[in-house]
Amino acid sequence: MEKTKKKIVISNIVLIGLVSLFIDMSTEMVYPLIPLFLTTALGASPAIIGVIEGIAESIASLLKVFSGYIGDVYHHKKRLTFVGYSAAVVYKVILLLSTSWMGVLIARAIDRTGKGIRTAPRDALVAESCENKKLGGSFGIHKMLDMAGSSFGVLLALIFITSGLGFEKAFLYSIIPAIIGILIIPFIREKKAGKKQVEKLTLKGVKLNSKLKFYLAVMFIFCLGNSSNVFLLLKAQELGFSATQVILLYLIFNISSSILAIPSGKLSDKFGRSAILVPGYLIYGLVYFGFALLTSTAAIVFLFIAYGAYTAFISGAERAFICESAPAGFRGTVLGIYGMLQGIGLLLSSIIAGVMWETINSNAPFIFGGTLAIISAIIIGIILGNKNKYFNE
C-alpha cells in the first residue's frame, strides 16, 4: 500500500514537471531570439528592452498573490495552472503578428500574465505532492525537467537560426510543444479540502513569522539588481559573440541548471536551506562581477555555466524554505507574495539596468547587481543561521 502511494506522489510531481518541460521548451524556442529580434529586426534599444521586460514581469508579479490565494481558498490550483499555461500559445501568436516593439511588449505581457496566474498554484501543487522533508528534492525534480525543456527549446532556436528559417518560423513551431504541455495538465491530481477549512481562510489570516519576513525583504533587495537574463545575452553580443554563439551560451546555462537542480535541492533537504541559498547568492554576485570585468571567450562560457549553478541552487531551496515557513493552508498565497516581490524587483531592476547601460556603460548593471547579491548573501546567512528567538517567532 505504501509503495503504491509513493508511486502516485512521484508521478504527480513528474507530471507537473513534464508540463513545465514542454511549456518551457516552447518559451525558450523564442526567448533567446527576442533580444536579437528586437535589436536587429525592430531596431529597439537596450533601454526599450529593459522597459518591455520590466513591464511584462510586473504584470506577472501582481497576479501571483491573487492566483496563489484563490488556489488556497477555492482549491482551483489545477484550473489556474491550466489557464496560466494556455497563455503560452497566445503569446506566440501575438509574436508572429508583431511588427514593432509595442507588439512584442503586448506578447510578453500576455506571456507573463499567464506566468503570474500559474506559478504560485503550480508550486503549491508540487509542495502538496510530497513530504516536507523532501521539499527541496521535489522542487529540484521539477526544476530539472523545467530546465531540460528550456535546453531543448534553446537548441531548437539555434537550429532555426543556423538553418536560416528565421524568427517567424521559430515563433510558429514553438506553439506545438506548448499545446502538448497543456494537454498533460488534466492528468495532474489536486488534493481537495473540506468546506469548513476553506471558509476560515482570509487574507488577514496570513501571518508570516519574522524569519520569513526578513528573508523576503532581503530577497527583494537582491532582486533590484537581478535584471532580466536578456541583459546577459546582450552583454555576450557586445563582447563579440555571434547570434548563434549567444544562443549556445544560453543553452549552456540551461543545461548547467538542469544537471544541478536535483542535487542542490536534495542537499538543501539534508544540510539545511542556508547551506545552499547563501552559496547560491554568492555565486550570482561573483558571476555578475565577472560579466563586468572579464572579456575572454573561456571566461564568458564559464560564467554562463556558473549562472546555471546559481539558478539551480536558488530555485529548489528557496521555494522549499518558503513552503515550510508559510502558515498552514496558505502555501500558495505566500508563494504568490514571494513571486510578487520578485516581479516588482525585476521590473525595477530591468529599467535600472537599461538606463545604466545607456547612461553609464554596459558594465554598470552587473557591478550594481553583483554588489547587492554579495550583501544579500551575508544578511541571509545571518537570518537563516541565527538561533535568536526573534528570527523564529
Alpha helices in 75-134 (DSSP H): 77-97, 101-128
Q: Is 140 a member of any domain?
A: yes
Question: Given a cut of 70, is residue 1 above it in pLDDT?
Answer: no
Report pLDDT digits (tens) over 277-307. Answer: 999 999 999 999 999 999 899 999 999 999 9
pTM of the model: 0.77
In whole angstroms, what is the distance from residue 184 CA to residue 182 CA?
5
Mean pLDDT of 163-169: 77
Question: Given a cut of 60, is residue 197 above it in pLDDT?
Answer: no
Query: What does the block give as the cell for 250?
Result: 544560453
Question: Given a cut of 80, is residue 60 above it in pLDDT?
Answer: no
In whole angstroms, what is the distance from residue 187 CA to residue 230 CA?
34
Alpha helices in 185-273 (DSSP H): 195-200, 210-223, 230-238, 243-271
Name the residue range of residue 81's domain. Answer: 2-188+200-391
Kindly list the distances between the CA atom of residue 89 and the CA atoms of 22, 35, 102, 307, 333, in Å, as whole numbers in the listed order: 12, 20, 19, 28, 26
In whole angstroms, what is the distance from residue 300 CA to residue 287 CA?
9
pLDDT of residue 74: 63
What is the pLDDT confidence band of residue 5, given thresholds at 50, 70 and 90?
very low
Q: Is 103 a member of any domain?
A: yes
Name the average pLDDT for the chain: 82
Mean pLDDT of 248-273: 88
Task: Report how many domains make up the chain.
Answer: 1
Q: Is 193 a member of any domain?
A: no
Of 220, 203, 214, 205, residue with least CA distance to 340:
220
Mean pLDDT of 89-95: 87
Higher pLDDT, 285 or 119: 285
Percent of the chain scoring above 90 in pLDDT? 21
What is the pLDDT confidence band of residue 332, given thresholds at 50, 70 and 90?
confident
Q: Is 194 a member of any domain?
A: no
Radius of gyration in angstroms for the set of CA atoms belonging to the chain, rounded to a whole number: 20
Specify whether the CB–CB gap between 289 and 100 falls below 8 A. Answer: no
Mean pLDDT of 142-171: 83
pLDDT of residue 71: 66
pLDDT of residue 23: 92
pLDDT of residue 19: 92
What is the pLDDT confidence band of residue 206, given thresholds at 50, 70 and 90?
low
Q: Is 138 a member of any domain?
A: yes
Query: What does the block give as the cell for 319?
Result: 521555494
Question: Given a cut of 70, is residue 94 above it in pLDDT?
Answer: yes
Higher pLDDT, 350 or 186: 186
Question: Given a cut of 70, is residue 109 above it in pLDDT?
Answer: yes
Question: Given a cut of 50, is residue 161 above it in pLDDT?
Answer: yes
Name the phi and psi angles at 207, rounded to 5. Answer: -105, 115
Specify whether the CB–CB gap between 27 and 118 falls below 8 A. Answer: no
What is the pLDDT confidence band of residue 3, given thresholds at 50, 70 and 90?
very low
pLDDT of residue 96: 81
Specify whether the CB–CB gap between 260 and 309 falls below 8 A. Answer: yes
In whole angstroms, what is the distance from residue 363 CA to residue 290 CA?
10
**Region of poorest pLDDT, from 25-34, 104-113, 161-170, 249-258:** 161-170
In whole angstroms, what is the distance from residue 55 CA to residue 137 CA?
33
Break the chain down into helix, strand, coil percent, rounded to 5.
Answer: 85, 0, 15
pLDDT of residue 349: 87
What is the pLDDT confidence band of residue 179, given thresholds at 50, 70 and 90?
very high
Q: Is 143 a member of any domain?
A: yes
Q: How far apart are the first and last CA of the chain?
A: 38
Question: Given a cut of 90, is residue 390 above it in pLDDT?
Answer: no
Query: Rounded to an integer, what is the distance from CA 13 to the centroid of its chain?
Result: 18
Question: Given a cut of 60, is residue 17 above it in pLDDT?
Answer: yes
pLDDT of residue 364: 94
Higher pLDDT, 78 or 203: 78
Q: Is 195 a member of any domain?
A: no
DSSP string, 174-195: THHHHHHHHHHGGG-------H
CATH number at residue 104: 1.20.1250.20
In whole angstroms, what is the distance from residue 379 CA to residue 376 CA?
5
What is the pLDDT confidence band of residue 201, given thresholds at 50, 70 and 90?
very low
Mean pLDDT of 71-93: 81
